[in-house]
Amino acid sequence: MIGRLNHVAIAVRDIAKATAVYRDTLGAQVSEKVAQPAHGVSTVFVNLPNTKIELLEPLGDNSPINKFLEKSPDGGIHHVCYEVDDIIAARDRLKAAGARVIGDGEPKIGAHGKPVLFLHPKDFAGTLVELEQA
């Protein structure tokens, strides 16, 4: 059911510093920083030949990544994003299998302007999983 790895998201306290590491130390192509107020984060995308890295920095007081950064002050891998052809069909299949969809279960428009859902890490090998309808 899942297709390509769309991105790996890394949460950081200082996105400018993390962007510089990817751009200058690792020699990667990076995007501009974009505020995503609806998601409580700012993002920078690192474009790799076969996938992307999504750098996330908290935006606002109620950022959903604040708790993660309290536990991992140096930052770390926050989620992985897999592409699916039909996000509603994928959600219904996963729910029927007993997996937990985070939030109200309805897809939201993600950082790429496409519908996304998040799946509970306890059901997926301890990893927060994002599904994106490609």
Q: Which residues participate in catalysis according to the annotation?
A: 130
CB of 79 to Co ion, least distance (A): 6
Going from the C-alpha of 80 to that of each of 24, 27, 83, 97, 130, the distances in angstroms are: 24, 22, 10, 20, 6
Binder to Co ion among 11, 81, 101, 119 (CB under 5 A)?
A: 81
User: Counting contacts by CB under 5 A, is residue 9 touching Co ion?
Assistant: yes
User: Counting contacts by CB under 5 A, is residue 130 touching Co ion?
Assistant: yes
**The tokens 């219904």 sit on which residue?**
92
Nearer to Co ion by C-beta: 96 or 115? 115
Nearer to Co ion by C-beta: 81 or 101? 81
Rounded to the nearest 10°, the torsion over CA 128, 52, 16, 79 is 0
Report CA torsion sign: 102, 13, 66, 33.
negative
Going from the C-alpha of 111 to that of each of 37, 39, 58, 115, 121, the distances in angstroms are: 10, 8, 14, 9, 20
User: Counting contacts by CB under 5 A, is residue 53 touching Co ion?
Assistant: no
Binding segment (CB under 5 A) for Co ion, from list 12-20, 68-76, 89-97, 122-130: 122-130
Bridge-based pairing of strands 76-84 and 5-11 is antiparallel
Nearer to Co ion by C-beta: 24 or 60? 60
CB of 53 to Co ion, least distance (A): 10
Give the footprint of Co ion on this chain (CB under 5 A): 9, 54, 81, 130
